Structure 1
Amino acid sequence: MFASADAKSALFRDRYDIIKQRLLNNPLFRDASSFENENVREDQGKIFKLTPIPHISTTPPAHHVTLGMLTRMPDGRYHVEDPHASVPLEFPNKVARTPGVFTETAFVLVEGYWTGEVLRVETVGMPPGEGRAESDKSYKNIDFFGGPKSTESPERLLFLEKRLAEIHFVILSDLWLDQPKVLSHFRTLLSAYSTPDFTPPLAFLLCGPYSSRPYLLGASHFDAYREGFNTLADIIAEYPRLRESKFVFIPGPGDPWDTKVLPRARVPKTVTGRVEQKVPGAVFATNPCRMKYFTHEIVLYREDLATKLRRNCVVPPDEDEEPDAHVHLVQTVVAQSHLCPLPLEIRPVSWAYDAAMRVYPLPQTVILADRCDPYDVAESGSTFVNPGSFPTSGWSFVVYYPGSGRVQHSKIPN
């Protein structure tokens, strides 16, 4: 957990290397050295030459496109930085930009004019994403997911996945166990799935926080929190038809023992004993957590990411070009290949476990559970879903069918 100081620099260096490698797989981008190769010809159309940042500061005034991390120096000026050097940036009153939320420590593409002292920014953009199909071509025999391997062939698994198209997951967030109204509506949901009219889901994916108030150390909060889980265990046990379904719990902000550092450990066993005893399919996972359904990889992450990204942006999103704020959020996650592309002082990440936050290669489905309005966005061949907040979004939840990729936004009527 407590890594050496070298791990912090390695964290950003690894993020940079992943994005640069992804860019160089894109036919629109080439490293500057590639242009010395006769295979790169003018008739190949528009190709962006990436100039390494150390080379910019040693060249006469000229236009450049470069990749680097957006950094604020102690004097308040912004620089773009790679593992070897940095150059200062000069932003005009209006700068062209691609969809995305540009925060400090985000890796960005900058196009501008080097004056000899500063790089005058003309366009700032998110690095283009890479779909899962393209990544798989580069890593045919590498299993990034890990875990036990199936004895079935990938073709057989894909066939079964498509054939069982009605298998589904129920996803909801902010299951406040200290609120009777929340428990009442959750009971209504379970009752519906216990009738012959509905097929029980393969799993209920239940994101926290599990209390409407942040957990504070103390006997009263501990007893109330544990009692909430005890009540939930009794409710689920009332529906024997759901004994075959999994109940997966992903902790959220404010759940114990919240150290504010990502990735988050599971909800402690000291409060979940009755659930694990009475609910055979209970799984208490980390945040984020990963699961696999045949060939389909799913990542679940509970964070109020939309608000934090917008609050810490350096360059505001271009809402004239793309008015949907959810698209800007998804583009940022895809471009950064990271679930939490925020400065470490805003949302700390354990230096040694930053890899747990990465989404490269892209999973087929990413659940970004957030308090903002529900949405689903298709990007780079993957589906990004937010079920919204169960108590504050009108009792909203999502039914997801991984075999077909169908996302069904649903609500429990009052």
Structure 2
Amino acid sequence: MATAKRALKPSVASDNPIPSSSPAFGTPVHPIPPRTTVPIRPPVFRPAAAPTTVLPIVLPPATLRPLAFRTFTKKHNLTLTSSALQALATFIGRHCGSGWREEGLAEKVLEEVAKAWKKCTTQVIVEGDGDTLKSILKTLEGSMTGGRITPGSGLSRQTSFNFSGDADRQESPGLGSRPNLDTHNSFGISGLEVQEKDEDEEILKDPREWMKIIGAFDQPKLEYNVSKKHFDKSTVKPTLFPPPTRKTDLFRQRYHIVHQRILRNETFQAPTFSAARSATLNRTGSVSTSQTNSITPIANLLGRSGSTHLLLGMLTISPTGALSLSDLTGTIALDLQHAQQIPADGSYFAPGMIVLVDGSYEEDHGNPAAGSSSSLGGTGGIGGTIGGKFIGFSVGHPPCERRSITLGGDTEAEKNNISGPAFGWTDFLGVGSERATGAKMSRIATNTLSPTSAHNIVIASDLHLDVPSTLSALRTLLRTYTPDPAEVDPIYPLAIILMGNFSSRATLAGVRGAGSIEYKEHFDALASVLSEFPQLLAHTSLVFVPGDHDAWPSAFSAGASTPLPRKPVPTLFTSRIKRAVAEANREIWGTGKAKGKEGEVIWTSNPSRLTWFGVKGEMAILRDDLVGRLRRNAIRFGKPGDADDDEMPDATMQAAGHEGMDTDPDLRPVPTSHNTSTNIIPDELDPDVSIARAITRTILSQGYLSPFPLSVRPLHWDYGHAMGLYPLPSVLVLADSEAPAFVVKFCGCAVLNPGSIVESGGRGRREGRARWVEFDIGKGVGVVRVEE
């Protein structure tokens, strides 16, 4: 074998250059050198790496919150609910383990979830209770190995820190280098500044497409969490037949919202050590600047007889008929014989309102039965009426809070302060939060609303269809906003809000001439009047808000106060009006309607909300006779001149009750006073102006549309949140036939009262003229219109 191998070796034969073809002999080397070839090595077999085992951990949601906030909110403009944060924390702790922070695994998972959410839905609120987030996490779970997303799984593999695209860049940023903020891709700055254009912006050029009507029964129910100091979405579906505990929750929520609003007021916040020290060392300043006010719970009055306190509670009537003050800890009898209201004759105080009372507590030692109604017996205790009485020196409403402060502050620094007390990330109406969509909606509003054109919302009230003069006044209103056909670019109102009562008498209550047939005929007559203006119907939105005399609640209330909120007028009576609007659209636009331009008719509840451009503007609409109800239940105080100088209220309550108020010039014969240190003298103001100021200050300070006991104004317990005014709306419509027509602005909120559409005589007015209110959403200005 060795010999054979040696024989196969090539050798050189110089005497015979011809190679031999026999393998048994030594074959000489070919005269041409052969090509050098590289031997092909067989592939080395390597066993597949075993998947990395991830040890699950329990990841608290609070630990994941900063990273989730930066990914979802700062980069993708999404709002993360507590349930969604809990689901993400459980998912990351189970699949990423202890490397969620050090290896950056959690950040990649959150990035993929945020992008998948934006592809699946257009909602800005990420909820963990729905099926969308569960399906996203389930899909992502099958694409992960060892806590990492598997490449080629079809998911996006971009991280939150994407530094690509700049060819002129000299160095790539590291952990310690600062990213180039000029590029839109660095740190998700495109999502933060909302630089990219939405497809809807190019399509929806009509401002009416950005308007939305939210009924009271469709408004989301939020509950204030005292321990966490934020609003939680109620997990219980509201119903018209709730358990009795919801009645207690109705008033408890009102108190919590007012209480937390007061504690954020600067006069109720304790200063820091440096602030108190600077106030003491400053000789030019007042020493009182370092003093703050504190609210004393009623239960803490026990054993403190003769001391002065500031109480916050609800005015109630005790079973004995005496006036009392109640909070969450107890009830105390009130003695307001020498008390003064703040401001003097500038607001209403009635049972059911939450007020601030400054005074002194006097314990009744000689009457052991004074606290017999207490749950603890003796002289009283927590949860019951304590003994003695509270002598009030001054009574005032809680200080009002502007909408800009509630949703983020007036200045840019306050809006960017995520640790502040504002609720900018809370979606109160289901149209998005201020911090998530406010910048984008402001940009859309600027591009959509022309600064030179009027964008009006027209409001008329008390449309009594059974009165002939009402239809004549309605024709005057519609004729005013119908442009000349010769105009090149006509301007139509964005919406025309027509409010009840649509009958001067209670419908279906057994009153002669007010049955269902007559009620249907009245709306048919209204449809005939609307059909005379097809151009207007095809370019605007008609909104109908019912009153107490409308069907169906008036059938059993006979015109008395019906429970609020109440549902729209039944479709049984409104079919002819819908047909008139559809015919107008067909006549003007034909079969091929342009999206966003055809007219529409909306039947909504009382009260209801109208929003434009998301959170850019909000209008709260209520049809109720508030002035008459306030006058019947108001508490009478002594005249300001009867009080001594020593018993005048402190500067805090005066400032809270005397904030500047702008009034419609047509309703005031004298200039509006903006002085916050002097009381309003009733004799120097027109009575109509005084009424407008009083009702405006009362409702906005209470932050509630119906601050009355349920015996005075019934409410559906589970839908009481729809009556809240927190945060303050941009516009509040209080359609009250007993109050004069006015336009007042207080704390940044414009309050409108159109009065009756048919102006009545008296006080220099001409009877029979049409009257309504129009509000320009672009300029934020309202005006009372009166036409022949």
TM-score (norm 2): 0.50
- For residues 41-97 of structure 1, the C-alpha deviation after alignment (integer angstroms, 9 at most, x for no partner) is 483434212111111223242010010011110112222111111111111245243
- Return the alpha-carbon distance in structure 1 between the equivalents of residues 521 and 700 of structure 2: 39
- Return the alpha-carbon distance in structure 2 between the equivalents of residues 16 and 224 of structure 1: 44
- What is aligned with 2:353? 106
- What is aligned with 2:757? 390
Q: 1:314 aligns with which of 625, 629, 635?
A: 635
- For residues 95-114 of structure 1, the C-alpha deviation after alignment (integer angstroms, 9 at most, x for no partner) is 24333211111100000011
- For residues 109-149 of structure 1, the C-alpha deviation after alignment (integer angstroms, 9 at most, x for no partner) is 00001122211100000001000011012012112121489
- What is aligned with 2:603? 284
Does 2:270 align with 1:270? no
Q: 1:91 to 1:317 in 2, by over 3 A?
A: closer
Q: How many residues align?
A: 409
Q: 1:29 to 1:39 in 2, by over 3 A?
A: farther
Structure 1 residues 149-228: aligned runs within 5 Å? 153-160=440-447, 163=450, 166-196=454-484, 199-217=491-509, 221-228=515-522
Residue 155 (structure 1) shift = 3.1
- What is aligned with 2:548? 253
- What is aligned with 1:244? 539
Q: 1:12 aligns with which of 251, 260, 265?
A: 251
- Return the alpha-carbon distance in structure 2 between the equivalents of residues 79 and 152 of structure 1: 46
Does 2:300 align with 1:55? yes
Q: 1:345 aligns with which of 687, 711, 716?
A: 711
- Return the alpha-carbon distance in structure 2 between the equivalents of residues 217 and 86 of structure 1: 41
- Return the alpha-carbon distance in structure 1 between the equivalents of residues 681 and 726 of structure 2: 25
Question: Aligned to 1:335, what secondary structure does the other structure show?
Answer: helix
Residue 190 (structure 1) shift = 1.6
Q: Does the aligned pair in 2 maintain the 1:100–1:317 contact within 8 Å?
A: no
Normalized per residue, which structure has more strand?
A: 1
Q: Does the aligned pair in 1 maintain the 2:360–2:392 contact within 8 Å?
A: yes
Segments of structure 1 that go 5 or more residues without pairing to the other structure are: none
Aligned-pair RMSD on alpha carbons?
Answer: 2.4
- For residues 141-182 of structure 1, the C-alpha deviation after alignment (integer angstroms, 9 at most, x for no partner) is 112121489798133134246635511011110111112221
- Return the alpha-carbon distance in structure 1 between the equivalents of residues 338 and 548 of structure 2: 37
Structure 1 residues 354-373: aligned runs within 5 Å? 354-371=720-737, 372-373=739-740
Q: 1:47 to 1:318 in 2, by over 3 A?
A: farther
Does 2:144 align with 1:144? no
Report the more deviating stretch, 216-225 or 50-59.
216-225
Q: Does the aligned pair in 1 maintain the 2:464–2:504 contact within 8 Å?
A: yes
Question: Aligned to 1:314, what secondary structure does the other structure show?
Answer: coil
Q: 1:302 to 1:8 in 2, by over 3 A?
A: same
Q: Does the aligned pair in 2 maintain the 1:398–1:407 contact within 8 Å?
A: yes
- Return the alpha-carbon distance in structure 2 between the equivalents of residues 178 and 79 of structure 1: 45
- Return the alpha-carbon distance in structure 2 between the equivalents of residues 114 and 399 of structure 1: 50
- Return the alpha-carbon distance in structure 1 between the equivalents of residues 448 and 258 of structure 2: 31
Report the more deviating stretch, 56-65 or 16-25.
56-65
Q: 2:525 aligns with which of 211, 231, 250?
A: 231
Instruction: Flag the structure with more relative contact order, 1 or 2, with Cα contacts below 8 A and sequence separation at least 6.
Output: 1
- What is aligned with 1:25? 264
Residue 292 (structure 1) shift = 0.7
- Return the alpha-carbon distance in structure 2 between the equivalents of residues 121 and 182 of structure 1: 48
- The structure whose Rg is larger is 2
- Return the alpha-carbon distance in structure 2 between the equivalents of residues 126 and 318 of structure 1: 18
Does 2:690 align with 1:406? no
Report the more deviating stretch, 147-156 or 122-131.
147-156
- Return the alpha-carbon distance in structure 1 between the equivalents of residues 303 and 701 of structure 2: 29
Q: Does the aligned pair in 1 maintain the 2:339–2:395 contact within 8 Å?
A: no
Q: Does the aligned pair in 1 maintain the 2:351–2:708 contact within 8 Å?
A: yes
Query: Could you tell me which amino acid in structure 2 is paired with residue 278 of structure 1?
Result: A
- Return the alpha-carbon distance in structure 2 between the equivalents of residues 17 and 390 of structure 1: 39
- Return the alpha-carbon distance in structure 2 between the equivalents of residues 161 and 397 of structure 1: 26
Residue 217 (structure 1) shift = 4.0
- What is aligned with 1:73? 318
- Return the alpha-carbon distance in structure 2 between the equivalents of residues 166 and 286 of structure 1: 27
Query: Could you tell me which amino acid in structure 1 is paired with residue 389 of structure 2?
Result: V
Query: Could you tell me which amino acid in structure 1 is paired with residue 441 of structure 2?
Result: P
Residue 10 (structure 1) shift = 0.6
Residue 187 (structure 1) shift = 1.5
Query: Could you tell me which amino acid in structure 2 is paired with residue 163 of structure 1?
Result: S
Residue 200 (structure 1) shift = 2.0
Residue 364 (structure 1) shift = 0.4
- Return the alpha-carbon distance in structure 2 between the equivalents of residues 147 and 261 of structure 1: 27
Segments of structure 2 that go 5 or more residues without pairing to the other structure are: 1-239, 280-288, 364-387, 409-421, 583-599, 641-678, 683-689, 761-768
Q: 1:147 to 1:227 in 2, by over 3 A?
A: farther
Report the more deviating stretch, 37-46 or 283-292.
37-46
Q: 1:47 to 1:315 in 2, by over 3 A?
A: farther
Q: Does the aligned pair in 1 maintain the 2:732–2:752 contact within 8 Å?
A: yes
- Return the alpha-carbon distance in structure 2 between the equivalents of residues 231 and 376 of structure 1: 31
Question: Aligned to 1:201, what secondary structure does the other structure show?
Answer: coil
- Return the alpha-carbon distance in structure 1 between the equivalents of residues 581 and 274 of structure 2: 62
Q: Does the aligned pair in 1 maintain the 2:618–2:731 contact within 8 Å?
A: yes
- Return the alpha-carbon distance in structure 2 between the equivalents of residues 110 and 339 of structure 1: 22
Q: 1:83 aligns with which of 296, 304, 328?
A: 328
Q: Does the aligned pair in 1 maintain the 2:339–2:637 contact within 8 Å?
A: no
Q: Does the aligned pair in 2 maintain the 1:170–1:397 contact within 8 Å?
A: yes
- Return the alpha-carbon distance in structure 1 between the equivalents of residues 541 and 622 of structure 2: 18
Q: 1:296 to 1:322 in 2, by over 3 A?
A: farther
Q: Does the aligned pair in 2 maintain the 1:101–1:317 contact within 8 Å?
A: no
- For residues 271-325 of structure 1, the C-alpha deviation after alignment (integer angstroms, 9 at most, x for no partner) is 1111122224111010011011121111110101111111111245979735312
- Return the alpha-carbon distance in structure 2 between the equivalents of residues 39 and 154 of structure 1: 40
Q: 1:160 to 1:123 in 2, by over 3 A?
A: farther
Residue 225 (structure 1) shift = 0.9
- What is aligned with 1:377? 744
Q: Does the aligned pair in 2 maintain the 1:90–1:119 contact within 8 Å?
A: yes
